[in-house]
Amino acid sequence: MTASNAKLKSYWQVNGEFGASLPMADRGLAYGDGLFETMRFQKGLCALADQHWARLLKGCERLSITLDKNRLLADLQSFLNNIQKQEPNLHGIVKLIVTRGAGGKGYLPPENSKTTLIWQWLPAAAPSTEAQNGVSLCVSDVRLAKQKLLAGLKHLNRLEYVLAADRAPAGQLPLLLDADEYVIETLSHNVFLVREGEVITPHLMHCGVEGVLKQFAQQKIVPSLNINMREACVSLNEIMAADEVFIGNSVRGFWPVTQLAANKKIVNWSIGNICRQFQKSHQLYLQSVHG
Taking the complex as a whole, the smallest distance from the CB of residue 34 to a second copy amounts, in Å, to 9
Closest CA to 56 of 157, 156, 154: 154
Q: Are 103 and 113 in contact (CB under 8 A)?
A: yes
C-beta of 145 vs 205, nearer to a second copy? 145
Contacts of 203 (CB under 8 A, 6+ apart): 231, 232, 233
Supply the DSSP string of 146-203, one letter for each residue.
--TTTTB--BS--HHHHHHHHHSPTTPEEEEEETTSBEEEESS-EEEEEETTEEEEE-
- DSSP conformational letter for 34: E
- Residue ranges in contact with a second copy by CB under 8 A: 10, 12, 14, 21-22, 24-33, 36, 63-64, 97, 100, 106-109, 118, 120, 142-143, 145-147, 149-150, 155-166, 179, 187-188, 207
The set of long-range contacts for 259-262, using a CB threshold of 8 Å and a minimum separation of 24, is 259/134, 259/136, 259/137, 260/136, 260/137, 260/138, 260/139, 260/175, 261/136, 261/137, 261/138, 261/139, 262/138, 262/139, 262/175, 262/236
Taking the complex as a whole, the smallest distance from the CB of residue 226 to a second copy amounts, in Å, to 35
C-beta of 15 vs 281, nearer to a second copy? 15
C-beta of 23 vs 281, nearer to a second copy? 23
Taking the complex as a whole, the smallest distance from the CB of residue 109 to a second copy amounts, in Å, to 5
C-beta of 44 vs 103, nearer to a second copy? 103
Taking the complex as a whole, the smallest distance from the CB of residue 127 to a second copy amounts, in Å, to 16
C-beta of 27 vs 229, nearer to a second copy? 27
Q: Are 75 and 130 in contact (CB under 8 A)?
A: no
Q: Are 272 and 194 in contact (CB under 8 A)?
A: yes
Taking the complex as a whole, the smallest distance from the CB of residue 69 to a second copy amounts, in Å, to 22
C-beta of 3 vs 8, nearer to a second copy? 8
Taking the complex as a whole, the smallest distance from the CB of residue 210 to a second copy amounts, in Å, to 16
Taking the complex as a whole, the smallest distance from the CB of residue 106 to a second copy amounts, in Å, to 6
C-beta of 45 vs 251, nearer to a second copy? 251
Q: How far apart are CA 76 and CA 215, in angstroms?
A: 22
Contacts of 199 (CB under 8 A, 6+ apart): 192, 193, 222, 227, 228, 229, 230, 274
Q: How far apart are CA 234 and CA 257, in angstroms?
A: 16
Taking the complex as a whole, the smallest distance from the CB of residue 196 to a second copy amounts, in Å, to 34
Q: Are 102 and 26 in contact (CB under 8 A)?
A: yes
C-beta of 25 vs 241, nearer to a second copy? 25
